[in-house]
Amino acid sequence: MPSLSAFLRLTGAGWALVRADALIPREVEPQLPPAAKLAGRLLRMFAGGAAKRGRPGQRLADVLEKQGPAAIKMGQFLSTRADIFGTAFAEDLAHLKDRLPPFPLAIAEAEIQRNLGRPLGEIYAEIGEPVAAASLAQAHPAVLLDGRKAAVKVLRPGVERQVARDSAVLRLAARLAEQLAPASRRLKPTEFVEVVIRALDLEMDLRFEAAGCAELGEAMATDPYMRAPLVCWEGVGKRVLTLTWAEGVALSDPAALELPGLDRKALAENITRGFLAQALDHGLFHADLHEGNLFVAAPSAVTAVDYGIIGRLGPGERRYLAEILYGFLNRDYARVAKVHFDAGYVPAHQDVDAFAQALRAVGEPVFGRNAREVSMGRLLAQLFEITALFDMALRPELVLLQKTMVTVEGVARRIDPTHDLWAAADPVVRRWIGRELSPAAKARDFAEEALRAIKALARLAEAPPPAPVVVAERQHSWPLLWFLVGAATAGAAFVTGLLLAPHPPL
């Protein structure tokens, strides 16, 4: 049963949005249908003085900042989609990324020393005032004893209690949505919320973030698109994280896009390709790529920070993602539709040809057009209509991937308004397809299966007989057993020859 405090906090958040005219703001009334216009006017009867001050984004940012970490995370996500909500709205929410009120340096130093169990002087030559403050933690510049410049991240005092309260409110909101709006059940709000809460819980232990940064940094190093700082393990604890300093300027700083020599097109492509290479090639990706977590330097270097949320994909999800993207790149809607059915994203009772037709209706108007000419809001609305028409349910295991893809495209388009997501994705997707679905790759997979079969048969042959009667039976099976081993060996040799032989590209 939901607690009274969760209900009161949810009610309070709704009331705060109404009082600030941030729920259905008056500025958007001309674009709304009649029912929504009426609802907005009724709600504004209860608006307070704050409703008369500032733009809609400013009013919403003020409310979200007071509601706690989960609400701030939502504001960060909205701030990346200037192409949907407008530039002014996105900029008004931008301060939620890394410009929240900091807590004093003295409190941070005491927390660092307590958490690491060592005097500060044994690890750092100096620690400075905070340079960035977000919903969960803040960052301080520091110098290590070996002279390297570093960034020290410290969790906010009492943030764990705030997140626990936010989690209770999110769970209550999800349950109410399912009960009061049956249409929302297709989106599985309860499961969606649990994914968000799990991600927030992991962010509360900075040792996990250190491990994620190290692991993802190794993956990033295999491509030129994006980099990660190095972990300074002697400065890592549950509530403290020390990384080498990220060179460049945070994208959340308006000066970042005015750097001399900056190549905006290449920078936007590096961010898109960096994310896709992580997800497809390695099965793990940075799942919080908003502007406050990206540092850039001319001409197009990108360093990502804040590895509190790491997304992971299994081999099946990676293959489905690559094939869907590849199908769209080639405008092969029948293939895209089939992959959706194979993956279980669309119920089997639906018509695959009709779904392919619906995908064509979405894709064709987008290809070949300048990004400025494409309304992302209208495109997303059309996609949502299609998911409803074909009974497509939200896949909670893919929530982080979907959320990050939307964020990455928003960031890239803010850097380069003409950014073409499909063109940027093309080399990464084709590389994966060529490596994983080529004839050589299929032959390699067959060879691996054959070798596994050989090992299994060998273990079976070497196993001691449990009883005389079984021995007699096995003695009669030796010819068949060795025939299978020989056949598997021959098959492996044949496949190895295929692997070594030249083959045409895809």
Catalytic residues: 288
**Closest C-alpha to 404, from 321, 346, 344:** 321
Cβ neighbours for 456, distance < 8 A, ≥ 6 positions apart: none
* Tokens 């900075």 sit on residue: 206
What are the backbone angles phi and psi of residue 193, rounded to the nearest 5°? -60, -40
Residue 477 three-state SS:
helix
DSSP 244-287: EPPPSEETTSGGGGG-TT--HHHHHHHHHHHHHHIIIIISEEES
Max Cα–Cα distance, the chain, nearest Å: 92
Question: To which H or E segment does residue 24 belong?
Answer: none
Cβ neighbours around 54 below 10 Å, total: 16
How many residues make up the chain in this entry?
506
Question: To which H or E segment does residue 112 belong?
Answer: helix 105-116
And the tokens for 304? 């990502």
Q: What secondary structure, in 3-state letters, does 180-228 show? A: HCHHHHHHCHHHHHHHHHHHHHHHCCHHHHHHHHHHHHHHHCCCCCCEC
Residue 337 three-state SS:
helix
Residue 125 three-state SS:
strand
Q: What are the contacts of 320-327 at 24+ separation with CB within 8 A?
A: 320/345, 321/279, 321/280, 321/401, 322/280, 322/429, 322/432, 322/433, 322/436, 322/437, 323/433, 323/437, 325/276, 325/425, 325/429, 326/429, 326/430, 326/433
Angle at 244 between CA 242 and CA 245, to 5 degrees: 110
Query: Residue 67: CA atoms inside 13 Å, Cβ hemisphere, count?
Result: 29
Q: What CA–CA distance (Å, rounded) separates 279 from 407?
A: 14
And the tokens for 182? 């049956």
Q: What CA–CA distance (Å, rounded) separates 242 from 235?
A: 5
**Closest C-alpha to 120, from 111, 131, 132:** 111
Query: Exposed (0-12), middle (13-18) or buried (19+): which is 446, by Cβ within 10 Å?
Result: middle
Answer whether 134's CB lies under 8 Å from 88's CB: no
